[in-house]
Structure 1
Amino acid sequence: MKALLAVSFGELFLKGANRKKFFNDALAHIENNIKVIGYDNFYLESGKLYIDANIDNFDQLIEQIQKVFGIAYIDKVYKVNKDENDIYLAVKKSIQENYGNENKTFKVITKRVDKSFKYTSPELNVIIGDKILDDFNNLKVDIHKPDFKVFIDIKTSAYVYTKRYPGLGGLPIGSSGNGLLLLSGGIDSPVAGFLMAKRGMKINAIHFHSYPYTSLKAKEKAIDLAKIMSNYTGKMQLFIINLSEIYKAIASNCDRRNTTIISRRFMVRICEKLANKFDFQVLVTGDSLGQVASQTLESLTVVENASALPIFRPLIAMDKKDIVDLSKKIGSYEKSIEPFDDCCSIFAPDKPVTKPRLKYIENDENNLDIENLINEALETLEIIEI
């Protein structure tokens, strides 16, 4: 009887001709997440990944595998010979480990990939179910709404498991193009990056700061957030750019109420320059409709006008509470609420325009040397490998 971890993949198996690429993307991410913990070997059989590792490390491995997109379930399985007695011994051990003497109901589910096996799936279900009832007085059968299920997969060997750990679902990273996330120091943007990564987008990030007007702690916070995100997104590049000269030019030449909108238009223009160089196909922001002055419909429209790239806003219809809950789930919340001002907040006007009109914003921008300011900002570019 050999203990293994089994990984079941979800939506990626619906992707036809691209299935092999998506599968390899998921495998690479799993391997990257678990290599520090260590494992002996892994192999594929009939659409599942089996990982041979020290059983004492199973809980740690499951925790890391659960951070990989494209996975439906992780199971602790026992691999045994295709013999009903060996199969039952594994079933008995698994039930004892996971459910002990609890009063519960169960159902046996057999999947017979090897059609040469001497019992049909319903026949083996009955054989194993009867043995369970004989040995466990606390258990009863319920085929409709059981408390737990006994899974038996008949392949080249038999695999037995009674407890499943849910994965994140979604698609493997890199299967849906490349995006550049505008990563602030707040709660929203890491969640936006997480959600786009869940749909298979390869995420890199850009952070704008305005040192010396803001602390270097704000920049360090963004780096820490990128590291937290990389548990889910895999390796990423973090682009860091100083916007202080742009903010100074806006303050000297434009209506102060327009500062936030004009600065965000500069951000997306800079992002577009980087996208052309590094092959990003879309920008991703943490905007949520109506949450702040810069996220009214009018503000979002005027900002988007400055970009030739599409801007994806996965949080656009989410409530703040839901965003906060998700940030806690992915582990970014505590870092996000650390009290270091970012460049947007430090230069924000007291009474920002909430319904900007494009012609007035463009009139203000006519007072600025936009191309030169962008080029000067790009000279401050730092690239950090996360």
Structure 2
Amino acid sequence: MKWEKILVRYGELSTKGKNRKAFITHLRNNIKFSFVDLPNVKITAERDRMFLSSKEDAEIDELIKRLPKIFGIQSFSPVASCTQELEDIKETAIKIIDSLDYEDKTFKVTVKRTDKRFPLDTYELQREVANHVLRQFTTLKVQMKKPEIELRIEVLSDAVYMMAQVIPGAGGMPLGSNGRSLLMLSGGIDSPVAGYMLLKRGVRLDAIHFHSPPFTSERSKEKVMDLANQLSHFGATVRLHVIPFTAIQQSIQAQIPDNVSMTTTRRMMLKIADLVREEIGALGIVTGESLGQVASQTLESLTAINAVSTTPIFRPLISFDKLEIIDIARSIGTYETSILPYEDCCTIFTPSCPKTKPKLEKVEYYESFKDFDELIKEAVENREVFSFPSKKKNEFENLL
């Protein structure tokens, strides 16, 4: 089936008032970014919808394939066009239905007759097209309320436009419309899902990862880099800040009692994340914590950890159970990477009996015997920064 263009519906953006134009501009820019490799795509933004077009069939197919990952889109429909000749309209309707899974489906035709000079009125055109389609596809059944297939026809002065598919979009808000935050990306199942959920609300992300060689391997770092790259596929560049954390973890093991060492580890991580956040101009910190899932995620533990920062900390998974999180991870494509068996710094020094209800005053007392500030400063200064998606290297670059 040859499609002329794609109609994009905004969904939640349609509820915006005077600032709607700013949200639409963000969406338009995100689509440009996501399809920079498709040079012939043209974008036409209107108040309540957007059209994407290309003269290349392959580019239209690629748009249909990749648009479901763009946040801010409620749904979209491939649109075909034809002349105002009745036989041409009927033939195009047949081609559209034939491209769908139509067996034993319910069906109706709706018509919007913008060009009032068109010789048939709305109901006459509905009858003509519906009768023609039903004669060709005998298993279709007419249903006027909520049919499975709704063939929509819009008669304009220059052409007739027709569509029948409504493909769900990612929903949410366009990336960049709600600022930037820093995602604490561990390499497990939860944190990439938390990042995805903030991206869906229009928040651009940097990510931070704590790497403790030689206790954690290069493969574990590569795994996190892969996850950051996968998150970038949702329409925005993701910078990954890799923090050298070995010296701090060794100091914690030497100084802090075993049963509260994980609480102190998380507090040091949050202190470092806060410094990086401030440096990059992010407004919040994002974690994949789920209430009660592990010892460091009880209310008492979270209270003790939070005490080192006044920055807003977003925990979009706080009320989710593990199976719900796994389902989302599978749907966004991060699950298989997350379960690769490479250790992270939180697992290598896990105490056998961690405190689930640590007392803040005791944790602060134990930490007072060691000055962590200089180690934290060095870790921030010596971090590595990677950007995703990675820019492709010129194959002749090394020859110059």
Give the AA of the match of 1:3.
Answer: E
5 Å-filtered alignment, 1:1-386, equals 3-36=4-37, 39-44=40-45, 47-99=49-101, 102-112=103-113, 121-122=122-123, 124-155=125-156, 157-386=159-388
The 3 A distance-change label for structure 1 pair 180 and 40 is closer
Shift of 1:191: 0.2
Contact 2:54 2:60 in 1 (8 A): no
Aligned-partner Cα distance in 1 for 2:117–2:370: 77
Q: Deviations over 1:31-84 (max 9, x none)?
A: 222333554434345622222253245443322111110112222210223454
Give the AA of the match of 1:312.
Answer: F
- Structure 2 SS opposite 1:98: coil
Aligned-partner Cα distance in 1 for 2:368–2:235: 39
Contact 1:38 1:53 in 2 (8 A): no
Aligned-partner Cα distance in 1 for 2:332–2:176: 20
Give the AA of the match of 1:98.
Answer: L
Contact 2:231 2:238 in 1 (8 A): no
Instruction: Give the unaligned 5+ runs of structure 2.
Output: 389-400
Aligned-partner Cα distance in 2 for 1:171–1:205: 20
Give the AA of the match of 1:66.
Answer: P
Query: 4+ runs of 1 displaced by more than 6 Å?
Result: none
The 3 A distance-change label for structure 1 pair 303 and 82 is farther
Aligned-partner Cα distance in 2 for 1:52–1:325: 35
- Structure 2 SS opposite 1:25: helix
Contact 1:299 1:356 in 2 (8 A): yes
Contact 1:209 1:342 in 2 (8 A): yes
Give the AA of the match of 1:16.
Answer: G
Give the AA of the match of 1:307.
Answer: S
User: After the TM superposition, which of the residue ranges 174-183 and 115-124 deviates more from structure 2?
Assistant: 115-124
Aligned-partner Cα distance in 1 for 2:268–2:41: 50
Shift of 1:115: 6.5
The 3 A distance-change label for structure 1 pair 55 and 300 is same
Give the AA of the match of 1:104.
Answer: K
Q: Deviations over 1:195-243 (max 9, x none)?
A: 1111111111111111122111111111110000111151111111011
- Structure 1 SS opposite 2:69: coil
Contact 2:241 2:384 in 1 (8 A): yes
Aligned-partner Cα distance in 2 for 1:365–1:204: 29
Contact 2:8 2:49 in 1 (8 A): no
Instruction: Give the unaligned 5+ runs of structure 1.
Output: none
Shift of 1:99: 3.9
Aligned-partner Cα distance in 2 for 1:132–1:184: 55
Aligned-partner Cα distance in 2 for 1:113–1:343: 63
User: After the TM superposition, which of the residue ranges 135-144 and 240-249 deviates more from structure 2?
Assistant: 135-144
Q: Deviations over 1:275-308 (max 9, x none)?
A: 2221111110000111111111111111111111
User: After the TM superposition, which of the residue ranges 232-241 and 325-334 deviates more from structure 2?
Assistant: 232-241
Shift of 1:95: 0.8
User: After the TM superposition, which of the residue ranges 349-358 and 31-40 deviates more from structure 2?
Assistant: 31-40
The 3 A distance-change label for structure 1 pair 358 and 113 is farther
Q: With structure 2 as the length reference, what TM-score do the two structures score?
A: 0.90
- Structure 1 SS opposite 2:285: strand
RMSD between aligned residues: 2.2
Aligned-partner Cα distance in 2 for 1:42–1:240: 37
Give the AA of the match of 2:30.
Answer: H
Aligned-partner Cα distance in 2 for 1:17–1:50: 24
Give the AA of the match of 1:125.
Answer: Q
- Structure 2 SS opposite 1:66: helix
The 3 A distance-change label for structure 1 pair 120 and 210 is farther
The 3 A distance-change label for structure 1 pair 82 and 73 is farther
Contact 1:288 1:295 in 2 (8 A): yes
Contact 1:42 1:52 in 2 (8 A): no
- Structure 2 SS opposite 1:16: coil
Aligned-partner Cα distance in 2 for 1:243–1:105: 60
**May I ask how many residue pairs the two structures share in their alignment?**
385
Shift of 1:194: 0.2
The 3 A distance-change label for structure 1 pair 122 and 346 is farther
Percent identity (aligned): 39
